[in-house]
Amino acid sequence: MNMPTSIDRYKQEHSQDCLSNLPEFDFDEWASLHKNDPEAFEEKRIEWLTACIINAPQKYQKRLNGLMFHINSIRRLEKNPMQTCLKISAMMMDSLNDMRTFLSDLNSTISNNSEFVHAEKTSADILQFVRP
């Protein structure tokens, strides 16, 4: 019998993703709504993202709420949509670079530790000490 791998456990935990309970995303509908009624678009965007966060596993909800807050703050502060896109894209790249650095450091640590794990075992005589 095979033991479940961490990938199997991840799939089980995430088999019900946040989008499965949401209506199908229709890009043309969203684009039209943004063009014709930006306020309704913004309201629907917030509803959609909030529903996604609510349906996410509990352990991710706080982080997702923080991320949504950060992105909304950037959207309010930037002067135009292109600046907003560039700022959010840079934030995403920083996050990916942090993850890459972490994984690289982890890999390096594991590689260095494997030298100790695979070191030759030596034998020694065990001495018995007699209590006086």
Contact 74, 84 (CB under 8 A): yes
- Res 120 pLDDT > 70: no
What mean pLDDT do residues 117-123 have? 66
What mean pLDDT do residues 32-43 have? 95
Percent of the chain with pLDDT over 90: 50
Contact 53, 65 (CB under 8 A): yes
Helices (H) and strands (E) in the chain, counts: 5, 0
Task: Kindly state the tokens that stand for 39.
Answer: 């306020």
pLDDT at 58: 92
Indicate yes or no: pTM above 0.75. no
Residue 132 exposure: Cα atoms within 13 Å on the Cβ side = 0
Contact 53, 18 (CB under 8 A): yes
- Res 116 pLDDT > 60: no
